[in-house]
Structure 1
């Protein structure tokens, strides 16, 4: 078992008044422009994406992403693509990617309105529509927020080295929402409802230069909705951790200070297809005065594995192998247990059996200490 806490030195969440002023952000509210285009997509090293996921009432799980370029290898100019992952209740899984020409991309800086070919991702911090069609998969979704838009402080995570700070930014437009979905596989149309989420990320340096790995997950469990993330910085930043937690009860935020969270991983094994260490159990332990919440993800199935060397352009594969570039992405499903304690007495307990979370492993493999 390994345990870390949320101490920060070279890695910090930009949360000072000067940070808000410099970034033009209001510490008390969010604005639509924060979900608009925040980078120059033609600048080498920058990246940006808009993400949606849903757990649907028919048992399906859906993830859709709109990207300005591959965030793992962003040294190109604009190279937009749409990615769809659809896991059906009958056990079938589909991953489809539409790679577009640069002229097929457009995005507003005033708010979320992103178009890649005939695919569109748009909304106003309350209601979003996602329409995407790739090969034999088509999805049309409406997401209606039930929890207000949120970001941890400014949303900018800063990585300092040699007097220079690099950025990874995160904006959660819909922490939790109702979903009306229509999807089709080979022309067979299904209409259903569910629970969904939308966030937006961007940065100014290649992710693999800043981060070694991260766990990220979100869920609806009883009256609570939650988002939890735990980043481990790259070696150049001392493998320092940065933890984020957003926990709301009936739409009201009850905990969102990552510095009060300790993260524990247990039952770590090597995922054979990717060679990455994966924790079967991941726990976030939040303490603030008499209040304590424990949030435990327990893996039951790996829904998706992607080795990035398998998806880089053919011309870059040889260089990637020479550099031992072995980044991987894994998406899990399983059980989430939330417990609330007051003065160390258990007062609430809820379980969700359809939780989704992920491990993005960008750095070279580090075996767990036994």
Structure 2
């Protein structure tokens, strides 16, 4: 029987020293270009929003989109997805050569052609344009930038592989102007921005992971639950941040979070079992909160194998590297407990995701 390979969230003084970061203090350069296009790396800047009228807008900048096969080298891309309240869907992707891409290591300042994503951990401006679609987004944070410890998750007995994550704007105010086919719409709502990067295929180190975020009344929350691959002993990485009126009140998920999945269903596209309800129960002995996500609709469904060339598909099947990405919308509920009694309960729309091997 093979011994499981080491995996850990970077949380020791040695980890902070190695990275040049500080506990509970985030600097603008941390949202700058972290991988610098090094071979075998990937990186992306993510923005999503729930608008007041029920629409959702997601824009993602990739310095290298190949999270499953980062060894392919830089392939910058920007994706745009707008789902309007009346059921219309607009999606677009812009791919350009690496010569059209630029980014700063001092702060978030990424450009691909005429598209850009820039900001300073509090205020961001995002621009997308391709063909008949053009969008301008202004995001201002209501919750300070945050990360779980260093934000790095290490894999390998020498911690040589990593996946890193920085929620630069856990929740903020959004104003967006979107022009499609000559018609301009203006939106306001709540938004989120995070930054992800790594140096190894995510599918080779993780079995599956959830991520979600929501603004629910006076509460803002980020939730995630990562399960490592079999060779890492299916290691668990619980992640939780809860803020109230913009002040973080709970984020020690390793010690105080209980996670569970409820209401299973069989997905018609893959035949796999997924769950309609996710529950994050946080109880530190002084305060007890529960965040529950209830699925209503899948607004994006991507099977990794469908994005690959035919030879790569064959290899992916052989080495069990096929995976699925699903973005859900539904309702998030935050409950506050006094003992066993719920003393407050609020519900609002939310976006969350699942990435899983098949």
Contact preservation (8 Å) 1:96, 1:135: no
- In structure 1, C-alpha distance between the alignment counterparts of 2:20 and 2:237, rounded to whole Å: 23
70, 85, 107: which is aligned to 1:111?
107
131, 135, 154: which is aligned to 1:135?
131
160, 177, 184: which is aligned to 1:189?
184
1:232 is aligned to: 227
2:355 is aligned to: 360
Q: Which moved more, 1:241-250 or 1:313-322?
A: 313-322
Give the 5 Å matches for 1:232-271: 232-259=227-254, 260-271=256-267
322, 325, 331: which is aligned to 1:329?
325
- In structure 2, C-alpha distance between the alignment counterparts of 1:121 and 1:276, rounded to whole Å: 36
- In structure 2, C-alpha distance between the alignment counterparts of 1:186 and 1:212, rounded to whole Å: 41
Compared CA separation, residues 168 and 267, structure 1 to 2 (3 A) = same
User: The residue matched to 2:21 in structure 1 has which SS?
Assistant: coil
Q: Which has the higher contact order (CA 8 A, sep 6+)?
A: 1
Q: Which moved more, 1:129-138 or 1:302-311?
A: 129-138
User: The residue matched to 2:149 in structure 1 has which SS?
Assistant: coil
Question: Structure 1: 5+ residue runs without aligned partners?
Answer: 1-7, 366-370
Question: Structure 2: 5+ residue runs without aligned partners?
Answer: none
1:149 is aligned to: 145
Compared CA separation, residues 311 and 9, structure 1 to 2 (3 A) = closer
Matched, 1:171 2:200: no
- In structure 2, C-alpha distance between the alignment counterparts of 1:277 and 1:185, rounded to whole Å: 37
- In structure 2, C-alpha distance between the alignment counterparts of 1:286 and 1:210, rounded to whole Å: 26
- In structure 2, C-alpha distance between the alignment counterparts of 1:226 and 1:125, rounded to whole Å: 17
Contact preservation (8 Å) 2:41, 2:197: yes
Deviation at 1:315, TM superposition (A): 5.8
Deviation at 1:222, TM superposition (A): 1.1
User: The residue matched to 1:154 in structure 2 has which SS?
Assistant: coil
Compared CA separation, residues 9 and 315, structure 1 to 2 (3 A) = closer
Q: Which moved more, 1:185-194 or 1:279-288?
A: 185-194
User: The residue matched to 1:97 in structure 2 has which SS?
Assistant: strand
2:300 is aligned to: 304
80, 90, 95: which is aligned to 2:91?
95
46, 64, 75: which is aligned to 2:59?
64
- In structure 2, C-alpha distance between the alignment counterparts of 1:98 and 1:58, rounded to whole Å: 27
Compared CA separation, residues 31 and 92, structure 1 to 2 (3 A) = same
User: The residue matched to 1:75 in structure 2 has which SS?
Assistant: helix
Deviation at 1:11, TM superposition (A): 3.1
Matched, 1:351 2:347: yes
User: The residue matched to 1:301 in structure 2 has which SS?
Assistant: strand
TM-score, structure 2 normalization:
0.94
Q: Which moved more, 1:127-136 or 1:192-201?
A: 127-136
- In structure 2, C-alpha distance between the alignment counterparts of 1:128 and 1:330, rounded to whole Å: 26
1:282 is aligned to: 278
Q: How many residues align?
A: 353
2:214 is aligned to: 219
Deviation at 1:164, TM superposition (A): 4.0
Residues 298-335 of structure 1 show CA distances to partners (whole Å, capped at 9, x for unaligned) of 10111111112222246634443454542111011111
Q: Which moved more, 1:29-38 or 1:307-316?
A: 307-316
1:205 is aligned to: 200
RMSD: 1.7
Residues 135-178 of structure 1 show CA distances to partners (whole Å, capped at 9, x for unaligned) of 332211000111111111111112234x4442111111111100
User: The residue matched to 1:274 in structure 2 has which SS?
Assistant: coil
Compared CA separation, residues 105 and 313, structure 1 to 2 (3 A) = farther
